[in-house]
Amino acid sequence: MHSLLSRGNALVAYTLTLLAVLTSLCFLTTVFLDYSSSASINTVKVVVKNVPDYSASREKCDLGFLTFDLQANLTNVFNWNVKQLFLYLTAEYSSAKNSLSQVVLWDKIILRGENAVLDFKSMNPKYYFWDDGNGLRNNSHVVLTLSYNIIPNSGFLPNIVANGEHIFQFPSEYTAARV
């Protein structure tokens, strides 16, 4: 009854139960914290081009180009349970073809211990701002928002939208110049 194997099994079971309880308690200490923060977003230059889409249809689609400023202080989001943040800047708009379109323009990963104060000037997006038709030209309500996913050591993976958004308008004419 008290063989080496049964004693080892009891020790491992007790250790795993204790670790599960401690992990749950650690999670409960941060689950109700407020992870909201504010961000300031501004567009510097905005142009739109009508270029061929390189899919099978080869029809022309709108391609938006913009540069943006982004300021945010995310130091208050970090605590002992936050391992990293995954930030992303999205553009949300509607067009005649789609009632809601969301495009991710830029992203960044901030690890715990890195500088969480963002102060970017005249940044170019990392990803293309394609529309699947001609919905960008003269679109007067494009909303830029900064969102972030919190990657914790234990617990939920919350997705949070920062306070502060920027609404801008694309020009009414296509540009032919290189951007």
How far apart CA 167 and CA 42 sit, in angstroms, is 9
Most confident of the ranges 23-27, 154-158, 160-164: 160-164
The predicted model scores a pTM of 0.85
What's the pLDDT tens digit per position in 72-111? 999 999 998 899 999 999 999 998 888 999 999 999 999 9
For the chain, the structural domain boundaries read 1-32, 34-168
Which class would CATH give 34-168? mainly beta
Single-letter amino acid code for the residue at 29:
T
CA-nearest of 66, 45, 40 to 120 is: 40
Q: What is the mean pLDDT of the chain?
A: 91
| Residue 60 token pair | 């022309």
**Which ranges of the chain would DSSP assign to H, the alpha helix?**
4-28
